[in-house]
Chains A and B, each alone.
Chain A
């Protein structure tokens, strides 16, 4: 949901300024490419010289894409909300966590177990997917109505703190629901079982599930935002809420719909996470929220494609670091180093544009 570009009065630049701008553009483009490919290229060369195969790197990237798909779904919730009201909805990660808890709860209600037949499982999971999405969508909309809408005209700090507060409330709801221990959920899809081996890279059931569920959702979201009446209203509100209001758009309803959309995606991500990891716990929302928020910023917050790209990049960086740099203890540092480098070369994020605020 790209916000409006703003134009500033221009003054003819001098030769030195032109050269500096050209250098900045060069670094912003090529420097960024160097940052993005440095890790995979370095490890790819290392693999080729040592083992004469890129299977290990391909395996890292495959794991990164399936993990990153989940982060992308959550990151979209952050970026949708930021794009329209420029609020970082800290509670979003915890809505996702409750999505996993809800999905796991419905496993039991519908009697889904690891022994359920394929047809029953597919039907059951579809029902669980819809229910988890509706619960999270409803929850996110309720949060907007209760905690953010009354603060629409307030200083930006007020809704930000409210969001942090709601995050803790939801985290404690999760804690009360299932306690502090990790909860194993039935491995309905045999998540880590190999489906096919492609040139030495093992594609598992979990990998396929993450992609098969995520891609249609991303396409549907893109189509909704670009083509539907409500999607157009969302884009108009993101560009200029006042002008949108004057054009007859119900801004409050549009914002509520945005939260609903983010919540629906969080619910879907919650189910995918439960199926993929087979372990859920109250703290997963905080961790996933932090990663997804980073993905949204990396991609250019407010930009839908950017959130997806950021999610995939972080997923890949995480898996490469887990596999090759220590035992994973350095992974958060590597991910945030990547974020910093990307911000240095492109402060607006990979696909980010100026917002009305920046203008």
Chain B
């Protein structure tokens, strides 16, 4: 009887977990005016450690819409913000993400879907928006497999994300074949010889771990391991000891802050008292920088596609000024500018669609015809896969509990050693 009772209790735990994974929230803002009315959706994780970035991405998108007079061509735009996270998950959630994508897919007035923040979430929403022919534009996804073949590890990617066979996904941020190379270049410069990699096993984390590993090997850095972690583990002290025993002089985690990154860096940082700790854009956020101990922070090196405001063209510098004046002088989180550009790209495509600004197929087609677009990020094009031609990356350090910009770099070759095309081409 007792054993059965315990078995039943275990079932209840599992059921409770399933229930906790449901639910989402939404809010909206609309523009005025007459003419054709369309809707642009945003879907981002508004709960959990990524929230500061998501909130600023939404603000960037709202700012771009406001500056365009709430218009995309002749269409008046209503902006609806959805949440793809749940409180219980503390990060993006598969159920909430698919609910958001279905909501947008079923809305006949929808012309664009700006999201998701996390590549793993986009792996769920892209097939849904693709099926509805709705153009998705991500301001933050960097996983290579969403747009390009990442090799055997991709298991049918990117084709598996596009059931209609037609591309309907683009992004304003450079992908991880560029980020991996940016990280490896920095490692090489800092004299890294032996690197140990871990990842959070999500689409994004495992993807950037792979591209960074490939790029590091090409630069003569010995990669001692690339292993998945348990994001729910209470600590990583034994894993850190393993990394120390391997003889690594540097560590890199491919993953997002929500997956226990703070604890991981604390434990590995203590085990490698002189080791260099590298991180991707998934941890380049204030909620990661703030709780990091000083001695660990001093050896932490992060990359994000966002570069120094001074290195942006005048349009970009104006964005930072406008953002600060619109939102109480606050400096935006790194991805806000990509949110601004995601909305700008959608509005620009609608404008170029002319009288068909409310026709999602026409808008989608125009996104792929984006060539030499002058933007807050610089001049760029969207290639046939939906990727931007921008290959700038920013290097960040952690100082005083905050991210400090160090340097902008232009990545010449991707993680496989392939030369990257000229910007704006």
Question: Which residues of A come within 8 Å of B, CB atoms?
Answer: 56, 59-60, 63, 67, 86, 88, 90, 156, 160-161, 164, 167-168, 171-172, 175, 179-184, 187, 192, 273, 276-279, 281-284, 287-288, 290-291, 297, 301, 318-320, 322-324, 326-329, 331-332, 343, 347-348, 355, 357-358
Which chain A residue has the least Cβ–Cβ distance from B199?
A327
Residues of B214-267 at the interface with A, using a CB-CB cut-off of 8 Å, are 225, 227-230, 232-239, 241-242, 245, 257-258, 260, 262-263, 266-267
Q: Which of B87, B237, B241, B267 has the most CB of A within 10 A?
A: B237
Contact A320 B234 (CB under 8 A): no
Taking A181-B257, A328-B238 as known contacts, 5 extra A-B pairs with beta carbons closer than 8 A to each other, sorted by chain A number, are A168-B16, A192-B270, A318-B238, A322-B236, A326-B227
Q: How far is the CB of B121 from chain A (nearest CB, A)?
A: 16
Contact B263 A279 (CB under 8 A): yes
Contact B293 A171 (CB under 8 A): no
Contact B291 A183 (CB under 8 A): yes
Contact A164 B239 (CB under 8 A): no
A192 to B3 CA separation, bound complex (whole angstroms): 40
Which chain A residue has the least Cβ–Cβ distance from B17?
A286
**Known contacts A279-B263, A327-B225: A182-B49 contact under CB 8 Å:** yes
Contact of A320 among B238, B260, B290, B291 (CB under 8 A): B238
Contact A327 B198 (CB under 8 A): yes
Give B10-45 as 1s and 0s: 1 = Cβ < 8 Å from A's Cβ atoms: 001100100010000000000000000000000000
Please tell me if B399 contacts chain A, counting CB pairs below 8 Å: no
A181 to B49 CA separation, bound complex (whole angstroms): 4
6 CB < 8 A contacts A-B: A90-B12, A180-B258, A184-B292, A287-B234, A328-B228, A329-B229
Q: How far is the CB of B170 from chain A (nearest CB, A)?
A: 29
A181 to B263 CA separation, bound complex (whole angstroms): 12
Contact A327 B9 (CB under 8 A): no
Contact of A326 among B5, B228, B270 (CB under 8 A): B228
Contact B245 A56 (CB under 8 A): yes
Contact of B293 among A184, A332, A347 (CB under 8 A): A184
Contacts of B260 in A (CB 8 A): 182
Contact A323 B292 (CB under 8 A): no
Contacts of B257 in A (CB 8 A): 181-182
Contact B88 A171 (CB under 8 A): yes
Contact B239 A328 (CB under 8 A): yes
Contacts of B238 in A (CB 8 A): 59-60, 63, 318-320, 322-323, 328
Please tell me if B190 contacts chain A, counting CB pairs below 8 Å: no
Q: How far is the CB of B209 from chain A (nearest CB, A)?
A: 10
Contact A182 B1 (CB under 8 A): no
Please tell me if B95 contacts chain A, counting CB pairs below 8 Å: no
Contact A358 B266 (CB under 8 A): no
